[in-house]
Amino acid sequence: MHTDRERCVRAVQSKDARFDGWFFTAVLTTGIYCRPSCPVVPPKPENMVFQPSAAACQQAGFRACKRCRPDTSPGSPEWNRRADLVARAMRLIADGIVDREGVPGLASRLGYSARQIERQLLAELGAGPLALARAQRAQTARLLIETTPLPMADIAFAAGFSSIRTFNDTVREVFALTPTDLRARTPRTAAAGPASGALTLRLPFRAPLNPDNLFGHLAATAVPGVEEWRDGAYRRTLRLPYGHGVVALTPTPDHIACRLTLSDLRDLTVAISRCRRMLDLDADPVAVDDQLRTDPLLAPLVDKAPGRRVPRTADEAEFAVRAVLGQQVSTAAARTHAARLVTAHGDPVDDPEGGLTHLFPAPAALAALDPETLAMPRTRRTTFTTLVSRLADGSLHLGADSDWAEARARLAGLPGFGPWTVDVIAMRALGDPDAFLPTDLGIRRAAQQLGLPSTPAALTARAAAWRPWRAYAVQYLWATDDHPINFLPV
């Protein structure tokens, strides 16, 4: 969007928050870059330069605005609706892969050369993978400086910097303040941090956001020991690269309150990234709802409760396993099957604040279990054991960097994987916004109630007009039922 100058100028002059994260405004006269909704008086159009990323602004010598804090903008929705090389690279960078494995690790996971990735990222985002990762490290550092009492040396390495000097130089360059000055500007109550060692964060999103189906689905399908709804928050354990974590996510009108407890602070960036993906916080609800409103039968559903998100997952492999456990059984039965696996094979964790007891079992642990201990039909045992063995040996990969078409093809080739299982994994694990479930019982009931075609083929043909947002149409169709997944728990 940053190349459409006229549209960008209009967005800045109207302070339109919908475009935060789509592009950034660099002001030539001040050397500052802002989000489109910055509350200050807009600069003259001739003094505006538009960049596709915060990293591109920083590379061009601009520093972040202290008023609008552009580094805390929601992420670009482009990376949620695409599965090309650039989108997959951006999802991996957000997941901290460059900090852990470097650019060679990023290239290896994507199956391209480092030079090809650099070239494509520069062409579309104005910055290469190192610059993009550096911008993310700066954002993480600022978060830790402002929300924890940690020593600066600990913050530097937790944010992914290789040295304290690089940390100091980057913070000064990006924010025009030293780390100490940045902390001094933070109210003491915020900087003091909770006694328990948890981090309290605000996860921004583009309005509107309807939390009912989002948190209702996560709470209604919660696996005991791994997930729970407690005191108005969805809580779950997280398996992370350097350790584990426990997160509590609470919906509020203008942000998601996030409380994170990590065994290793180096996992902060990836934990935030996975929570944002799980709650679909980088979506563009206005674009989605405008498209779905073009169907006169969907329009009343959208107008009644706009801003529905697709509830996703914090662990793609975990969700694939749970999808198999949920084949042709009720939500309660699927939870029971998953809870047994967690108790028998999950890694124990300590949760002094609630009832979380385990991490969901890793594929390797599930691949080693005795199939005869599974309380399910023999054909589904075969489906389960084939899936976990493929996940464990790496021949099936489900992650932020997955090529959606390739992953779908590999899933469809597994025994017992029909269209419903493949598409529900594509929708909630891979994040494909156009995944559709025409054979789902809830969808067929909703179609009959609304006067939509009820056969899968005819419904799929009608749904062509909803593309590329059919996964969001699924949420609106599901919402016609009185199932607990559609209601915010009390």
Q: Is the peptide bond before 489 cis (omega within 30 degrees of 0)?
A: no
Handedness of CA 297, 302, 304, 310 (dihedral sign): positive
Quote the distance between the C-alpha of residue 176 and its chain's center.
Answer: 30
SS3 227: strand
**pLDDT tens digits, residue range 418-444?**
999 999 999 999 999 999 999 999 999
Give me the long-range contacts of 207-210 (CB less than 8 A, separation at least 24): 207/17, 207/18, 207/254, 207/285, 207/307, 208/285, 208/306, 208/307, 209/251, 209/281, 209/285, 209/307, 209/309, 210/305, 210/306, 210/307, 210/308, 210/309
Q: How far apart are CA 400 and CA 346, in angstroms?
A: 23
pLDDT band for position 191 (cuts 50, 70, 90): very low
> Are the C-beta atoms of residues 339 and 433 closer than 8 Å to each other?
no
Q: How far apart are CA 204 and CA 220, in angstroms?
A: 24
Q: Go through the domains of the chain in sequence order and give each one's CATH number.
A: 5-72 (3.40.10.10), 78-147+149-192 (1.10.10.60), 199-282 (3.30.310.20), 316-486 (1.10.340.30)
pLDDT beyond 80 at 111? yes
Q: How far apart are CA 111 and CA 185, in angstroms?
A: 44
The size of the chain, in residues, is 490
Q: What is the pLDDT of residue 188?
A: 62
The H-or-E segment that residue 293 falls in is none
Token pair 């090529």 in the structure block, residue: 403
205 residue type, one letter: F
Read off the pTM.
0.91
- Catalytic residues, by residue number, are 34, 440
> Are the C-beta atoms of residues 325 and 115 closer than 8 Å to each other?
no
DSSP conformation class of 427: I
Q: What is the pLDDT of residue 79?
A: 81
Nearest to 36 by CA among 82, 68, 84: 68
Structure-token pair, residue 404? 């959606």
- Range scoring the smallest mean pLDDT among 139-143, 293-297, 306-310, 444-448: 139-143
> Are the C-beta atoms of residues 285 and 306 closer than 8 Å to each other?
yes
Q: How far apart are CA 91 and CA 402, in angstroms?
A: 10
Q: How far apart are CA 309 and CA 311, in angstroms?
A: 6
Q: How far apart are CA 86 and CA 118, in angstroms?
A: 10
Percent of the chain with pLDDT strictly greater than 90:
83
Q: What is the pLDDT of residue 328?
A: 84
Q: How far apart are CA 103 and CA 130, in angstroms?
A: 7
Q: What is the pLDDT of residue 18?
A: 82
Token pair 């974590």 in the structure block, residue: 245
Residues near 154 by beta carbon (within 8 Å), at least 6 away in sequence: 265
**pLDDT tens digits, residue range 209-237?**
999 999 999 999 999 999 999 999 999 99
Helices (DSSP H) in 394-485: which residue ranges? Answer: 404-412, 419-425, 441-450, 456-463, 470-478
**pLDDT tens digits, residue range 319-377?**
999 999 999 888 899 999 999 999 999 999 999 888 999 999 999 999 999 988 888 88
**pLDDT tens digits, residue range 273-283?**
999 999 999 99
Q: Which residues partner with 99 through β-bridges?
A: none
The sheet with strand 48-51 has its strands ordered as 48-51, 24-27, 32-34, 63-64
Q: How far apart are CA 462 and CA 447, in angstroms?
A: 11
E-assigned strand segments in 227-383: 227-230, 233-239, 244-251, 256-262, 347-348, 358-359
From residue 150, alpha-carbon distances to 69, 138, 191, 198, 352 in Å are 22, 16, 9, 12, 22
List phi, psi (to 5°) of 117.
Answer: -65, -45
> Are the C-beta atoms of residues 315 and 322 closer than 8 Å to each other?
no
From residue 121, alpha-carbon distances to 35, 87, 132 in Å are 21, 9, 9
List phi, psi (to 5°) of 405.
Answer: -65, -45
SS3 359: strand
